[in-house]
Amino acid sequence: MLIKEGFCWPAFFFSFLWALWNRLWLVAAGLFALELAVNGALGALGVGPVVQAAVSLGLAASIGLLANDLSRWTYARRGLEFIDVVAGGGQEDAERRFLDRNPQITGVL
């Protein structure tokens, strides 16, 4: 499985729904609890809507930055092995470079 490096826009916009879609169950539960806790704390503190929006935007940006790392963490917990880092212009290009560097995976040497 290839996991891109960098910012994850779907996680930024949809957070725990993105995690559910990608079957990251613990991550989804953690994100849901985090969002509830942050919103509950902001409501209890009685902060204004501008501060609430700023905190929510900061939380969403943090989730977007960490989302792919959380995916890697989940897959490592499931026993999948990290093999290599490759760069490419898109998923197909990255797959091709990965398979060129690791021909033992295809069985063609």
Task: Go through 16-55 and write b for each residue having 16 or more CB atoms within 10 A of its CB, e for each that does not.
Answer: bebbbebebeebbeebeeebeeeeeebeeeeeeeeeeeee
Q: What is the pLDDT of residues 24-37, one digit of tens each?
A: 999 999 999 999 99
Greatest alpha-carbon span in the chain: 64
- Sign of the Cα pseudo-torsion (38, 15, 20, 27, in order): negative
Q: Which is higher by pLDDT, 97 or 62? A: 62
CA distance 109 to 104: 6
Average pLDDT, the chain: 91
* Six token digits for residue 36: 């509830």
- Does residue 30 contact residue 85 with C-beta atoms inside 8 Å? no
pLDDT class of 95 with cuts at 50, 70, 90: confident
Query: Above 70 in pLDDT, residue 109?
Result: no
